[in-house]
Amino acid sequence: MAEPMILDGNDVSKRIKDKLALQVAALEQKGVRPCLATILVGDDPASATYVRMKGNACKRLGIESKKIELPKETTTKELLAVIRELNNDSSVHGILLQHPVPSQIDERAAFDEIAIEKDVDGVTTLGFAQNAFGFAHYPSCTPAAILAILDHYQLPIEGKHAVVVGRSPILGKPVSQMLLNRNATVTICHSRTENVSDFVEKADIVVAAVGKPNFIQGEWIKSGAVVLDAGYNKGNIGDCEYDGCAQRASAITPVPGGVGPVTISMLLKHTVEAAERSV
Ligand SMILES: Nc1nc(=O)c2c([nH]1)NC[C@@H]1CN(c3ccc(C(=O)N[C@@H](CCC(=O)O)C(=O)O)cc3)C=[N+]21
């Protein structure tokens, strides 16, 4: 097999941000500065790093970032109160609650407290349902990034067999729905699936959203398949065994430099769009 096309997330991300800079400038003319509130509960260092990256990306584009850090003992009730306050703050256009939250918190209740017009991360039940129907303003960011990469490289989706490995509420499930809405035939594999490789072997498009380093083996990949690795394991290791998968794939996202940077750009894009809708 020839060398695969490397799907360059840094490049896709840069193009998205270049467009956004113009939108931010236009908003400034109207006296509006987009603002994203990020909420980090607890002191998980990896989560803190991601939230910091999101804040920095905002600043570079002229988007305000309002950082809220809460102690790891925070109760659901306290977190809901913080979210409600942000919902009522007209200077805030988007709210991101970093997942995962400590186990004593009802994460679903917290996500669902976010006002739909500020749910730029696509985590609410309503946002999820809108995404399933195909008319969400703000689909969740990693799924949106995966679709943006496929579209940027004009990789066909319609009629293709997409196998999504993982079914989490902000990644595997919503990306499955988005691929289905684009007329892919979608198979979802998960932790209880017997013989995951039997399914991956049939895939034209593989989306890895498992959270296990190097889980998807090169031998599982059908020759010419497109591989999107949304894994973000410790040490910047993806869910796909890269070298093996790259030998068979026609196109593949690296980790780092693939889905991750585009995820952040999607968050910025949704925040700018939320600010635009607020005027
Ligand atoms: N409510 C919520 N929404 C999220 O979107 C969300 C979340 N919670 N929790 C955690 C995951 C993870 N995530 C990443 C975003 C960017 C990179 C990223 O840009 N990674 C760089 C490398 C990062 C580095 O250099 O350390 C890359 O892949 O090139 C990775 C992971 C968003 N998440």
Active site residue 23: no
Active-site hit among 17, 54, 118, 173: 54
Residue 51, ligand 1, Cβ within 6 A: no
Active-site hit among 8, 112, 119, 121: 121
Q: Does pTM surpass 0.95?
A: yes
**ipTM score:** 0.98
Write out pLDDT tens, residues 33-82: 999 999 999 999 999 999 999 999 999 999 999 999 999 999 999 999 99
The ranges of the chain annotated as CATH 3.40.50.720 are 140-260
Å from CA of 31 to ligand 1 middle: 31
Active site residue 89: no
Å from CA of 240 to ligand 1 middle: 16
**Does domain 140-260 correspond to CATH entry 1.20.120.80?**
no
pLDDT at 26 over 90: yes
Residue 257, ligand 1, Cβ within 6 A: yes
Residue found by looking up tokens 């896709």 in the block: 12
Write out pLDDT tens, residues 213-250: 999 999 999 999 999 999 999 999 999 999 999 999 99
Closest-CA residue, ligand 1 atom 25, reads 256
pLDDT at 95 over 80: yes
**Does domain 31-116 correspond to CATH entry 3.40.50.10860?**
yes
Residue 143, ligand 1, Cβ within 6 A: no
The ranges of the chain annotated as CATH 3.40.50.10860 are 31-116
Q: Cα–chain-centroid distance for residue 252?
A: 17
